[in-house]
Amino acid sequence: MYKNVIKVTSALLICLLLSWGGVVSAKSGAYDYSGNFSKQMAQNFLDRDYLIEQKAAYTTMDYAELEGKYVKLWDKELNAVYQKLLSKLDRQQKDMLVDAQVGWLQWHINETEFVRASLLNDRKLGTLGGIQELRAQKDRLRERTLELMEYYYHLGGTPEFEYQGQQQP
């Protein structure tokens, strides 16, 4: 019985830690005074499926696989919208975006390496540290993707996700 209590308590702690901050933590919509872009982004399949799969996750391995999966999916979306956005820009704007994206990517990589070297290698974040680190990566990718989608939207593009969902609501 004691082992079952520990399993349930561990699962609840994992759920709490992983849901803290929620999916809506990204700062997209900074230039969206009408709210139209934010409404469109609130209905995306990536966030919907993530929440569905998160509710079904039970073990630490489930959560690690979930976060790793969505790191890859958001990275794919980021690259897709980046290419679409570049197609909307003149030469000077492209150069500025490329510089901004290179800077963002370097920051993202440095942040990940810092956390791994400073907090994960010494297990300062405990047994959930690896999952938290993947979640932080996913959240950074999500936020940057939505920023780029917003730029694309304001330049006349229709922000659409490559990912069209796997699960039914």
pLDDT at residue 119, rounded to an integer: 76
Q: What is the mean pLDDT of residues 71-83?
A: 97
The answer, yes or no, to whether residue 10 has pLDDT greater than 50, is: no
pLDDT at residue 130, rounded to an integer: 79
Structure-token match 């609840």, residue found:
12
Its pTM stands at 0.79
The answer, yes or no, to whether residue 121 has pLDDT greater than 80, is: no
Q: Render the burial of 107-132: b for 16+ CB within 10 Å, e for the rest.
A: ebeeebeebeeeebeeeebeebbbbb
